[in-house]
Amino acid sequence: MGRDKADLLLGDRRLVEIQTEKLIAVGIRDVMLSGYGESLPGTRTVPDLIPHRGPLSGLHACLKAAEHSACLLLSVDVPLIPQQTLRELISAHEGGITALCHGERTEPLMAVYDGELWRTAEAVLNSEKAAIRKLLERAPVRQVFYKGDESLLTNCNTPEDYERVRMLWGENAERCGEGAQR
């Protein structure tokens, strides 16, 4: 994207604000922001303990700092994911990793992780390839299959993706659990 995706706007709110509000709305009481420089109301920032190793570094630090036995990981760049989908992930979690799946794809950045997996994440981080998918290979994974509109899982990875998400936002804010746009 060439800039921090967390600060991209949908309407008058940044993606980080949309995702934070969504997490709080589904009952998350310990919202941790990884890889983001400022704290928002109702959140705390958690610095990487093993820096410069990608999203797994942030997950590792948050799992280690967690106040609860499991953590819902939600990437900032999928702002259209419905709250109901997050609730389904939380409800389905019985241990290990519970990840959202759609099509042939398992989404490690839309998943619930047991807090104790910080040790496994640390071992992966200290290996040659610190990809978050490597953690999925080392822990039991339960898949929750997404049955909704696939467009609501669009990531903002490129400027073109962001424009698509902006168009979809106006059409789907209520379906995404956002109510009315502000």
- Binned at pLDDT 50, 70 and 90, residue 181 comes out as very low
- Considering the four listed CATH numbers 1.10.357.10, 1.20.58.1610, 3.90.550.10, 3.30.470.10, the one that applies to the domain covering 5-171 is 3.90.550.10
Asked if residue 50 has pLDDT above 60, the reply is: yes
Which of 33-37, 38-42, 60-64, 177-181 bottoms out in mean pLDDT, i.e. has the lowest? 177-181
Domain chopping of the chain, boundaries: 5-171
Asked if residue 180 has pLDDT above 50, the reply is: no
d(CA 131, CA 121): 10
**Predicted TM-score of the model (pTM):** 0.91
For the stretch 64-111, pLDDT in tens is 999 999 999 999 999 999 999 999 999 999 999 999 999 889 999 999
b/e for 44-63, b at 16 or more Cβ within 10 A?
eebebbeeebebbbbbbbbb
Is the pLDDT higher at 1 or at 149?
149
For the stretch 124-141, pLDDT in tens is 999 878 899 999 999 999
Asked if residue 62 has pLDDT above 60, the reply is: yes
